[in-house]
Amino acid sequence: MTSDRFITFTSSPVPRMATWDLDDVITALSEPRRQSFQSWSPERTHVPLPSREVLLRIVNLLRAALFPFHFGNPDLGETSTRYFVGHTLNEALQLLEEQIRREQYLIQPECQWQEQQIKAQARATVQAFAQQLPQFKTLLESDVVAAYRGDPAAKNLDEVLFCYPGITAITYHRIAHALYCLHSSLLARMIAEIGHSITGIDIHPGASIGQGFFIDHGTGVVIGETTIIGDRVRIYQAVTLGAKSFPRDESGSLVKGHARHPVIEDDVVIYSGATILGRVTIGQAATIGGNVWLTRSVPPGAFVSQAQVREEIFDAGAGI
Amino acid sequence: MTSDRFITFTSSPVPRMATWDLDDVITALSEPRRQSFQSWSPERTHVPLPSREVLLRIVNLLRAALFPFHFGNPDLGETSTRYFVGHTLNEALQLLEEQIRREQYLIQPECQWQEQQIKAQARATVQAFAQQLPQFKTLLESDVVAAYRGDPAAKNLDEVLFCYPGITAITYHRIAHALYCLHSSLLARMIAEIGHSITGIDIHPGASIGQGFFIDHGTGVVIGETTIIGDRVRIYQAVTLGAKSFPRDESGSLVKGHARHPVIEDDVVIYSGATILGRVTIGQAATIGGNVWLTRSVPPGAFVSQAQVREEIFDAGAGI
Amino acid sequence: MTSDRFITFTSSPVPRMATWDLDDVITALSEPRRQSFQSWSPERTHVPLPSREVLLRIVNLLRAALFPFHFGNPDLGETSTRYFVGHTLNEALQLLEEQIRREQYLIQPECQWQEQQIKAQARATVQAFAQQLPQFKTLLESDVVAAYRGDPAAKNLDEVLFCYPGITAITYHRIAHALYCLHSSLLARMIAEIGHSITGIDIHPGASIGQGFFIDHGTGVVIGETTIIGDRVRIYQAVTLGAKSFPRDESGSLVKGHARHPVIEDDVVIYSGATILGRVTIGQAATIGGNVWLTRSVPPGAFVSQAQVREEIFDAGAGI
Amino acid sequence: MTSDRFITFTSSPVPRMATWDLDDVITALSEPRRQSFQSWSPERTHVPLPSREVLLRIVNLLRAALFPFHFGNPDLGETSTRYFVGHTLNEALQLLEEQIRREQYLIQPECQWQEQQIKAQARATVQAFAQQLPQFKTLLESDVVAAYRGDPAAKNLDEVLFCYPGITAITYHRIAHALYCLHSSLLARMIAEIGHSITGIDIHPGASIGQGFFIDHGTGVVIGETTIIGDRVRIYQAVTLGAKSFPRDESGSLVKGHARHPVIEDDVVIYSGATILGRVTIGQAATIGGNVWLTRSVPPGAFVSQAQVREEIFDAGAGI
Amino acid sequence: MTSDRFITFTSSPVPRMATWDLDDVITALSEPRRQSFQSWSPERTHVPLPSREVLLRIVNLLRAALFPFHFGNPDLGETSTRYFVGHTLNEALQLLEEQIRREQYLIQPECQWQEQQIKAQARATVQAFAQQLPQFKTLLESDVVAAYRGDPAAKNLDEVLFCYPGITAITYHRIAHALYCLHSSLLARMIAEIGHSITGIDIHPGASIGQGFFIDHGTGVVIGETTIIGDRVRIYQAVTLGAKSFPRDESGSLVKGHARHPVIEDDVVIYSGATILGRVTIGQAATIGGNVWLTRSVPPGAFVSQAQVREEIFDAGAGI
Amino acid sequence: MTSDRFITFTSSPVPRMATWDLDDVITALSEPRRQSFQSWSPERTHVPLPSREVLLRIVNLLRAALFPFHFGNPDLGETSTRYFVGHTLNEALQLLEEQIRREQYLIQPECQWQEQQIKAQARATVQAFAQQLPQFKTLLESDVVAAYRGDPAAKNLDEVLFCYPGITAITYHRIAHALYCLHSSLLARMIAEIGHSITGIDIHPGASIGQGFFIDHGTGVVIGETTIIGDRVRIYQAVTLGAKSFPRDESGSLVKGHARHPVIEDDVVIYSGATILGRVTIGQAATIGGNVWLTRSVPPGAFVSQAQVREEIFDAGAGI
């Protein structure tokens, strides 16, 4: 069939230079069993994992539902607000339910795939979460007012809500903390870490924080898992509320979950760079000066400066 | 190290139901050599092929550069138009140059990869193409005016430019035809086929078409490769300007490229469903009635209706 | 400052081959005044034009609001449907209001930019349009049932709604027709043309169509501006309901807008390829056979085949 | 607290003009029960429906897996082809499995939600589908060669694969037909309709088509559900292979599914505009001329032109 | 009509598990009036608010216009650069004008909606901003050279421009500062905060900064609103240029806007972790050591280390 | 031609208010030669530059290939994992090869455009990089386990891999360091800076870091170019491993590239805020307390607190 002599069909390329041979690399990377994890349990791992991208989307949807004029649709009219909020919330909660289900599958200890139970539990968790949203809005508004009152550079509430990283951080935290309390601690941590990446403010979702909380500038702030913070507390950049030491059990493993971070009572102010370590209590309306290093409790109304804590440092300097 | 007993790491899923085994299918599909194409030439095929998506983007950019207010940025001011057009055109032509280069690599007969030559040729082709753009704009404006004058339903020129599939079809054709004349016949065909898909109007890029061309409705129109159409011609839906028969060479293969489609002179009107086959000439200002089936030439000014051609049909009805 | 000898900064490329010189082309394309349009009126043209992309989005949003389970969100629950529909509708109507405003600016004859008036009128038009949506849904459901009953290949209503191009076409038409009646004829035409491009079915938005309308296959169907179609009419592919001739005024221009297309009464069936031209009436429950060419009225209940119309063709064959 | 006098917070807009009141419209559109469908069965309808967008993506992925150099990644090397094909196929089949599951939920007659059964069946269907892909590739290559050999305008096989709407149509058809045979007739129809929209060629997924099938131009072609087409058949634009009449049962409903479309044997050619209706047989290597209207069988090798069928038209002209 | 018995239509889902009831939550969140803000003024709030996403896009466009080869189109030729820059700038400034208008609506004290005035003012602001862009480019180039000269790890200017967070921060600052000076302080703050989030460097847009400014590493740097920084200043990570105390007026509210941050003269270097608080002056070419805590002025050329300021700390340690 | 009196065509807008005149600004910004860089070498700059966006995509693809279940496709089955990893890796490496080529063009000292050489070198670099990926995975897994063991708040390994910024930072670093060692130092720096922006942790790609490395919280950490870190080292937020001083050559320029940062031996722990400057050695298993400022070496096993280093501070406080 000579007429086909010039038929050409591009289905097998001959590359211009030697292609890389990745087969070995791919095989190594696809190797299912990681020998380094001797306790790896295959039964627990065949479920889809939560997704950071989806969690980011969930938080953005929740913010839009909480503050539709600032983070939703700026052209909303009176009537459409309700539909916008309802629709946005529905989307957020549907996505959240699926992520909660994924976490539940992952952490079930005995691999009994009681699918209906897990679904019902995820549904109940989302319900409980949703009921708290109006309270979130009130709390976040108290945070916005606190920032406005606490910073001479703040021009109006809109600026605070739009611009202050402390507001972003506390928004992420309040969402993450609610999930933490509802036993979705992995999702809570993932959400907290997104907030940390955006703001440089690292608040563990376990921390309990009252209303009217204000962090100014914020980069470098660290607030630990068992911290308790009262109402109207003000904190500046690079403040650490940390643990003093990590007890280990007889096998040498860290003891997890015990109360090891400070209690900050109402109306306390902590200036930039201060470090407070251990389960100590900073009494109501106390002020902690910049760069102070503290490992003991402070009475209400006290004013602690670097000079005052110097001896303590000399004595207990290794207080880490 | 008993404390690692509960370390878990999700890196090897055990799927809930048997996975499909696609290895054989994938192997079969990845098989490089297609045995059915005995003339397949491996040397010619190791280059990236043109992309339909990129060509669609190129046409959209060119349309935006030709009619920036209708297909570009509706908020353009006087000054910014020039920058918009310049920037849009640059982007279109850079993309086009790459596509032309890809076609050139593909069709070079002897696989002598003279890369610099091909690059220089692609650059020259784009230059020549770009020089024709102002003329395109004039031609397309003549087409728009023709449609406005020819259709009582047309309310204004904007409606014609926005809505008429005939205008979309002729825009694609004028671009495709220019590339066809510049020896980029594969790109020309790909662009023509995008236009065909959008409008249902199938114009081979080889067809030569004068100014003031108007196709109304258009679905089902077919205009063949060697068709020649004069100025101010008007055509309705389902008109075919086709070939009558396909001569074959001594080996039985089709003879490609000879003149086999009609010549339509200036000011001709062809109503819907008419079929004109072969290298016949429809004389100036002739009118061809709806559903007429024609395989012979028609003098200038003639008016051909179904009734008039009936005998001819009885004689030569199989005239395909 | 010799230490700067090796400072390099990439801000001025020297291209490897001569760049194209597009300045002349760009100048020609940016030339504001098109000399070919002597009546071009600069005062009327400084407003943003409607956008085909936005109109496509509007239609998709409206379809999702009308049939949320098929074209909206397949995971909708009972409660969320209402919010989804409300939110989707709001977005569609906001976008539509802006497009209506743009058309109004464009077509105002005397350039009196009474911005508030135009805004109020656009708002009123959208209001009137929105009020018709529940009726649209009822009409479209009647079309879906008609298709299901009329096609032996239809398995269920979902298939009809998802798959039938006739349903897509009538959806676009019902939206476009409503806008046409509300004096947004440019938007109406643009929407109709999108539907035409998707389905190959060309219905002018001026055409009036009753309930239970079914077009099967549909490619090549043309329905003209002043066509009137009753209830439960069925049409097949390549049917033309067109105009017979275009009267011109004393200046030689087309007379625009007069009634020139057929009236199709209730329960008529028109088989594929039939052509009906002029302001004729096809009486109730008449059947028009395939490929029939008709330029006269037909009484109710009549059955017209190619054979029956042959003489007519011989007499009036040029009936275009 | 006078200092708050100037605190402002943008959470309640007062729109500049009266907002539209959509509550009634939204209520009407969200009304769950459509009274017009008295047989509507609530138990069957609470499952997510298939998605046209996802099906379009599936077809694109399958095309990329079948022809990775033309529709996949033009920069593929020898090694990476295999990974590209495998990955692309996996994605396509995972998406397809979910869509099949959705169809199964929808069409189960007695609403017994045997979820595991449906999942297993969907998995099995996808498996069976995947096994046919290598054969698809062979068939489609035969179609490409047929087009190259049948059209003098075709320059090479790449052009045919890239540009010919007939190739696009047969690609969609072969995928849709396989699903139709695997009892996913809704998905099959949805895929077929996407192909119809792109090409103007309407092939019902039930039609059985042999190898080396070529449709040129194609706009307006209609091929019915029970059509059977042999090998190496060639068809031109606007050809209809349709049904002659639709029998109804005693209740007046259409009888669905019986053989009612033509059988086209090997090597037949059917020219543009021809209409063949009913369960007739066009014998091997027969040629049907342009615009011919046929409702009877034709022997092998016959040549049928308009003239030859004229009497028949006069006799049986209403043959619809 | 028994034949409809099997007609099904999916328009009312019955969800598999009880849906959540969000109506109360949605009502609470949509509640227009926030009781907690007694001074909330409804007249001021019915305008669209600025958008953080749009501001991010504006900054990216401006960076592309300022450094088209690094942040624009890497394939720019000599000719196209001009069109790229012009087009990019136009888009940036159009978007900016709209955002400025939104801020103006928001902050107008007496709600006199003099729309034309606001538009004219926004246009004038954008004009003034655009005029400064060439100067920005010169300033930013001086910053790039300063970083190259100041960091032994810097390999070339391209690396500095691409990689150094200090360059990113100063780019955002110079844009934000210009807007701050043009009375768009909300946009300025929003832009500054985007830069803060990306780099961890928090510069208030009110701060005035000379040429050749270099921040190395940068995380944790805070520069207050009324800071004044001369030419060729170098700063390291975690440096704070802050306020010492916040005076309140008789009502207890913060006094906003007075000069309360340091003045840093030319050629000063401030090492990491240093804190300088209050309206003090650091004299020309002075060096401030790492972790130094300073609340008093320093003469030109001085070298201040932790040891030198120790007494001061003991005396005034609470200097926050 | 009076009938054209009402023809309108929107091609020249007359803006409602004076447009801005940007021509001078655009000219200034497009000015090719930056006079401020006297050493600017035109021959070196006509090549496309690397792209930060593409590098971000490369890192994301590599992460997905290394941990497909966490950062790739959560629905992967056993079979498809291999294809997913292979395909993802191919895409990552193809993109990387192009970026490496761009860097090579940029930094070639004498502008000898030996294109083939550069291509071959880029290919070889990518090959060498790819071979290290399995080792990367092992190293990163050791880092994950170290974080799990070192933080009492860590609940499981998945949480660590998903959430810990220290893991993100070390992932970016290990990729960047490999490129640094393969002489792609610009790409390395760009990748490192992306990681810095996301995590607030600034690790120069030149730093050499052993296995089991754990950074907790991390914001403000700075690790310099010539730092060497052993196995199982633990570091907290705001730790600086920096240089003490920057020697200059006789011309006053910085001497680049010499060893100037600390050596940290195995099992060292450095608490938050500690600063270690210069080429000093922290001996095996030493512990450095919070906020310690160190400019001298420390023996193995030592425990250094603020109190212990006080004298040193008084002596050498300006040790920056």
Per DSSP, the residues of C255-269 read: PPS---S-EE-TT-E
Residue ending a domain, among A201, A216, A242, is A201
Cα F296 to Cα B77, F103, F207, F247, F308: the distances in Å are: 65, 38, 19, 18, 13
Contact E131, E180 (CB under 8 A): no
Provide the domain count of chain A: 2
Question: Cβ contacts of residue C320 below 8 Å, gap of 6+?
Answer: B271, B289, B290, C244, C245, C277
Q: Are residues A170 and A214 in the same domain?
A: no
Query: Tens-of-pLDDT digits for all 320 residues of chain A?
Result: 334 434 444 433 333 444 567 888 888 887 654 433 433 333 344 567 899 999 999 999 999 999 988 888 766 665 678 889 999 999 999 999 999 998 988 776 554 557 778 888 899 999 999 999 999 999 999 999 999 998 888 888 889 999 999 999 999 999 999 999 999 999 999 999 999 999 999 999 999 999 999 999 999 999 999 999 999 999 999 999 999 877 777 777 777 778 999 999 999 999 999 999 999 999 999 999 999 999 999 999 999 987 666 544 443 333 33
Give residue ranges of A with CB < 8 Å to any C CB: 75, 77, 79-80, 82-84, 86-90, 94
B260 contacts in D (CB within 8 Å)? 152
Nearest chain B alpha carbon to E93: B80
Q: Are residues A131 and A175 in the same domain?
A: yes
In a domain, residue B151? The reply is yes
Contact E15, C77 (CB under 8 A): yes
Residue ending a domain, among A163, A182, A201, is A201
Residue E30 amino acid letter: S
Q: Are residues F193 and F222 in the same domain?
A: no
Lowest mean pLDDT among A260-269, C269-278, F98-107: F98-107
Contact F76, A49 (CB under 8 A): no
Per DSSP, the residues of A88-108 read: HHHHHHHHHHHHHHHHHHHH-
C287, burial (CB in 10 Å: exposed 0-12, middle 13-18, buried 19+): buried
Q: How far is A318 from chain F (nearest CA, A)?
A: 5
In a domain, residue A13? The reply is no
β-pairing, A234-235 vs A269-270, is parallel
Task: Give CA–CA dist D129/D132, Å, rounded.
Answer: 6
Contact C205, C176 (CB under 8 A): yes
In a domain, residue C144? The reply is yes
Mean of pLDDT values over E267-290: 96
Q: Where are the strands (E) in D127-280, listed by range? A: 202-203, 208-209, 214-215, 222-223, 228-229, 234-235, 240-242, 263-264, 269-270, 275-277
Q: Are residues C166 and C181 in the same domain?
A: yes
Q: What is the pLDDT of residue D310?
A: 54
Task: Give CA–CA dist C260/C228, Å, rounded.
Answer: 11
Listed residue (E97, E242, E223, E230) closest to E169, CA to CA: E223
Contact E37 D9 (CB under 8 A): yes
Q: For chains D and F, what is the number of CB pairs under 8 angstroms?
A: 35
Q: Are residues F52 and F197 in the same domain?
A: yes
Q: Which CATH number is D53's domain given?
A: 1.10.3130.10
Residue C231 amino acid letter: D
Q: What is the pLDDT of residue E7?
A: 46
| DSSP percent split of chain B into helix, strand, coil, nearest 5 | 45, 10, 45
Q: Are residues F103 and F196 in the same domain?
A: yes
Question: In which band, very low, low, confident or very high, does the pLDDT at F319 lie, cut at 50, 70 and 90?
Answer: very low
Tokens of C125: 């038009």
DSSP collapsed to 3 states, chain E: CHHHHHCCCCCCCCCCCCCCCCHHHHHHHHCCCCCCCCCCCHHHCCCCCCCHHHHHHHHHHHHHHHCHHHHHCCCCCHHHHHHHHHHHHHHHHHHHHHHHHHHHHHHCCCCCCCHHHHHHHHHHHHHHHHHCHHHHHHHHHHHHHHHHHHCCCCCCHHHHHHHCHHHHHHHHHHHHHHHHHCCCHHHHHHHHHHHHHHHCCEECCCCEECCCCEECCCCCCEECCCCEECCCCEECCCCEEECCCCCECCCCCECCCCCCCCEECCCCEECCCCEEECCCEECCCCEECCCCEECCCECCCCEECCCCCHHHHHHHCCCC
Residue E259: is its pLDDT beyond 50?
Answer: yes
Order of strands across the sheet that contains E208-209 = E208-209, E228-229, E263-264, E281-282
Instruction: Name the one residue in this structure whose structure tokens are 């008016």.
Output: B303
Task: Give CA–CA dist C91/A91, Å, rounded.
Answer: 16
Domain that holds residue D97: 46-202
In the beta sheet, which residues pair with residue E222?
E202, E240
Question: In which band, very low, low, confident or very high, does the pLDDT at B306 lie, cut at 50, 70 and 90?
Answer: confident
Question: In which band, very low, low, confident or very high, does the pLDDT at D16 lie, cut at 50, 70 and 90?
Answer: very low
Tell me the H-state helices in B182-305.
185-199
Listed residue (E223, E217, E259) closest to E241, CA to CA: E223
Out of A22, A23, A79, the one facing D20 most closely (by C-beta) is A79
Number of H helices, E strands in chain C: 9, 14
Q: What is the pLDDT of residue D315?
A: 39
Tokens of E295: 């609340």
Q: What is the pLDDT of residue E40?
A: 35
pLDDT digits (tens, 9 = 90+) for D151-160: 888 888 889 9
Listed residue (B17, C196, C155, C216) closest to D187, CA to CA: C155
DSSP code at position A216: S
Task: Give CA–CA dist C214/C145, Å, rounded.
Answer: 9
Task: Give CA–CA dist E160/E253, Å, rounded.
Answer: 44
- Quote the radius of gyration of chain B (alpha carbons, Å): 26
Give the residue with greater pLDDT, D251 vs D90. D90
Out of C51, C253, C320, the one facing B271 most closely (by C-beta) is C320
Mean of pLDDT values over F216-229: 97
Nearest chain D alpha carbon to A137: D11
Residues C59, C63, C68, C74, CA torsion sign: negative
In a domain, residue B20? The reply is no
Number of H helices, E strands in chain F: 9, 14
pLDDT digits (tens, 9 = 90+) for E22-47: 888 888 887 654 433 433 333 344 56
F53, burial (CB in 10 Å: exposed 0-12, middle 13-18, buried 19+): exposed
- Mutation test of the interface with chain E: which of F16, F19, F24, F25, choosing the one with the most E Cβ atoms within 10 A? F25
**Please, what is the angle between helix C133-150 and helix D23-30, to 10°?**
20
Contact A26, D164 (CB under 8 A): no
Task: Give CA–CA dist C83/C213, Å, rounded.
Answer: 31
Q: Are residues A291 and A257 in the same domain?
A: yes
In a domain, residue C18? The reply is no
Q: Are residues F261 and F304 in the same domain?
A: yes
Task: Give CA–CA dist E155/E153, Å, rounded.
Answer: 6
Nearest chain F alpha carbon to E63: F29
Q: How far is A3 from chain D (nearest CA, A)?
A: 9
Q: Are residues A188 and A61 in the same domain?
A: yes
Nearest chain F alpha carbon to C113: F16
In a domain, residue A32? The reply is no
Contact F83 D87 (CB under 8 A): yes
**Please, what is the angle between helix F52-66 and helix F165-181, to 10°?**
110
Question: Chains with ≥3 Cβ pairs under 8 A against E?
Answer: A, B, C, D, F
Question: Cβ contacts of residue E115 below 8 Å, gap of 6+?
Answer: none
| End-to-end Cα distance, chain D | 86
D5 contacts in E (CB within 8 Å)? 39
Tell me the H-state helices in A1-114.
23-30, 52-66, 78-107
Q: Are residues D263 and D191 in the same domain?
A: no
E243, burial (CB in 10 Å: exposed 0-12, middle 13-18, buried 19+): buried
Residue E288 amino acid letter: I
Q: How far is B178 from chain D (nearest CA, A)?
A: 17
In a domain, residue E30? The reply is no
β-pairing, D263-264 vs F293-294, is unpaired
C80 contacts in A (CB within 8 Å)? 86-87, 90, 94
Question: Chains with ≥3 Cβ pairs under 8 A against C?
Answer: A, B, D, E, F
Listed residue (C104, A54, C156) closest to D186, CA to CA: C156
Q: Which CATH number is B308's domain given?
A: 2.160.10.10
Listed residue (D234, D232, D238) closest to D202, CA to CA: D238
Residue F86: is its pLDDT beyond 70?
Answer: yes
| ipTM for the whole complex | 0.86
Cα D2 to Cα A166, B72, B145, E253: the distances in Å are: 26, 53, 69, 9
D254 contacts in C (CB within 8 Å)? 149-152
In a domain, residue F52? The reply is yes
Task: Give CA–CA dist E233/E214, Å, rounded.
Answer: 6
Question: Chains with ≥3 Cβ pairs under 8 A against A?
Answer: B, C, D, E, F
Tokens of C88: 């989707």
Q: Are residues E198 and E237 in the same domain?
A: no
Nearest chain D alpha carbon to B106: D158
Contact F265, F230 (CB under 8 A): yes
Listed residue (D105, D275, D103) closest to D182, CA to CA: D103
Contact E202, E150 (CB under 8 A): no
Q: What is the pLDDT of residue D317?
A: 34
B75 contacts in E (CB within 8 Å)? 94
Residue B106 amino acid letter: L
pLDDT digits (tens, 9 = 90+) for C21-47: 788 888 888 765 443 343 333 334 456
Tokens of E70: 């690094």
Task: Give CA–CA dist A240/A273, Å, rounded.
Answer: 7
Q: What's the whole-model pTM score?
A: 0.89
Task: Give CA–CA dist C112/C135, Å, rounded.
Answer: 36
Contact F77 B15 (CB under 8 A): yes
Residue E274: is its pLDDT beyond 70?
Answer: yes
* HSE-CB for C54 with a 13 A CA cutoff: 19
Q: Are residues B197 and B63 in the same domain?
A: yes
Listed residue (D189, D228, A307, C3) closest to F255, CA to CA: C3
